[in-house]
């Protein structure tokens, strides 16, 4: 089986057991690193694209940060980061102190929030993806019939014959760790979700009056149900100053209809879900 990550060290112990390795492992690792350094072209800062953290990497960053600073409070959700000093081998996890100003006009104490950040970035051509997640570098070749790409929401993968923007699956750090098979599987599931989006019927006038009174709130699950990928939705929310962990009033989303073609579809899904919750008599989220 081919090495899924050609940037990682080979299993020299296994090669030695099979009689295919001679010399010292220390020297072999040094030669391997030298060859990679000769092949590798360090990306410029302008080429580095943030890759959103998966749930497992986010938990890992939060846990490590709390262990380093056990007495701190006011933690906020971890995010992906790019290491400073234009280095390709950066520190894996660090904490950023955010000055939120004083608690009130008459208070002299400053409120601080602490945000863990974990290295997760990369860049892509149509056929190759270079990335670093935590301390691990990755080099992936696009599967046959698929292409990588970059847009405003990050790095994505799509079928070579598919040009519709809504069929782009945006990668997170878990997809990068999983390799091309995980990316292709997630891309196929995203395509199937796009084709089978349940479009609710028109809301009746009496129900619309109830919705106007109760209000419609949009959640991250509504965006996923509308066919958007999780990573792209989180990136889009960050771009527009929206906290993806919370429900947002539909009026806030309506002001951004022109910012992405799927916004109206997300609003329709949230409206249909709210109407179904009202008929059911309870909310499912």
Q: Is the pLDDT of residue 98 over 70?
A: yes
Residues 57 and 27 reside in one and the same domain: no
State the average pLDDT over residues 243-266: 75
Q: What is the pLDDT of residue 219?
A: 81
Residues 144 and 170 reside in one and the same domain: yes
Q: What is the pLDDT of residue 157?
A: 92
Are 51 and 80 in contact by the 8 Å Cβ rule? The answer is yes
Q: Is residue 285 part of a domain?
A: no
Q: Is the pLDDT of residue 52 over 70?
A: yes
Q: Is residue 50 part of a domain?
A: yes
pLDDT tier for residue 176 given thresholds of 50, 70 and 90: very high
Number of domains, the chain: 3
Q: Which residues pair with 123 in a beta bridge?
A: 130
State the average pLDDT over residues 58-82: 89
Q: Is residue 94 part of a domain?
A: yes
Domain end call among 196, 222, 245: 196
Residues 107 and 147 reside in one and the same domain: yes
Domain end call among 157, 179, 196: 196
Residues 98 and 28 reside in one and the same domain: no
Residues 20 and 52 reside in one and the same domain: no
Residues 138 and 63 reside in one and the same domain: yes
Highest mean pLDDT among 33-42, 101-110, 169-178: 169-178
Q: Is residue 169 part of a domain?
A: yes
Residues 73 and 187 reside in one and the same domain: yes
Domain end call among 178, 196, 214: 196
Number of Cβ within 10 Å of residue 281's Cβ equals: 6
Q: What is the pLDDT of residue 244?
A: 74
Q: Which of 181-195, 196-210, 217-231 has the lowest mean pLDDT?
A: 196-210
Q: Is the pLDDT of residue 107 over 60?
A: yes
Please state, in angstroms and rounded to a whole number, the distance separating the CA atoms of residues 229 and 166: 9
- How much of the chain exceeds pLDDT 70, in percent? 82
Residues 188 and 216 reside in one and the same domain: no
Q: What is the pLDDT of residue 136?
A: 83
Q: What is the pLDDT of residue 155?
A: 92
Please state, in angstroms and rounded to a whole number, the distance separating the CA atoms of residues 227 and 193: 6
Q: Which residues pair with 155 in a beta bridge?
A: 150
Q: How many angstroms separate the Cα of 85 from the Cα of each of 89, 90, 95, 173?
A: 10, 9, 16, 22
Residues 257 and 218 reside in one and the same domain: yes
Q: Is residue 167 part of a domain?
A: yes
Residues 20 and 53 reside in one and the same domain: no
Task: Give the strand pairing for 79-81 and 110-124.
Answer: parallel
Residues 114 and 64 reside in one and the same domain: yes
Q: Is residue 215 part of a domain?
A: yes
| Mean confidence (pLDDT) of the chain | 79
Highest mean pLDDT among 150-154, 200-204, 223-227: 150-154
- What range defines the domain where residue 161 resides? 46-196
Highest mean pLDDT among 42-56, 71-85, 271-285: 71-85
Residues 67 and 167 reside in one and the same domain: yes
Residue with the bigger pLDDT between 105 and 163: it is: 163
pLDDT tier for residue 87 given thresholds of 50, 70 and 90: very low
State the average pLDDT over residues 215-223: 80
């Amino acid at each position: 089986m081919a090495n899924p990550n050609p940037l990682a060290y080979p299993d020299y112990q296994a090669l030695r057991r099979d009689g295919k390795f001679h010399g010292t492992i220390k020297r072999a690792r040094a030669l391997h690193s030298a060859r990679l350094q000769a092949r590798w072209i360090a990306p410029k800062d302008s080429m580095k694209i943030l890759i959103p953290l998966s749930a497992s990497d986010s938990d890992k960053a939060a846990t490590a940060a709390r262990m380093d600073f056990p007495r701190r409070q006011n933690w906020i959700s971890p995010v992906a980061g790019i290491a400073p000093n234009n280095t390709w081998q950066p520190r894996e996890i660090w904490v950023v102190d955010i000055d939120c100003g004083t608690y009130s006009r008459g208070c002299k104490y400053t409120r601080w929030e602490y945000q863990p950040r974990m290295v997760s970035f990369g860049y892509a051509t149509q056929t190759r993806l270079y990335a670093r997640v935590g301390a691990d570098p990755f080099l992936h070749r696009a599967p046959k019939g698929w292409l990588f790409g970059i847009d405003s929401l990050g790095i994505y993968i799509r079928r070579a014959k598919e040009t519709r923007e809504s069929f782009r699956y945006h990668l997170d750090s878990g997809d990068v760790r999983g390799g091309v098979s995980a990316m292709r599987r997630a891309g196929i599931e995203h395509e199937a979700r796009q084709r089978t989006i349940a479009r609710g019927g028109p809301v009746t006038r009496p129900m619309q009056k109830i919705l106007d009174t109760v209000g419609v709130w949009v959640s991250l699950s509504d965006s996923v149900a509308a066919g958007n990928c999780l990573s792209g939705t989180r990136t889009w929310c960050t771009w527009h100053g929206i906290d993806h962990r919370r429900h947002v009033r539909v009026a806030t989303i309506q002001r951004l209809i022109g910012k992405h073609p799927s916004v109206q579809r997300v609003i329709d899904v949230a409206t249909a879900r709210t109407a179904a919750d009202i008929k059911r008599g309870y909310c499912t989220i």
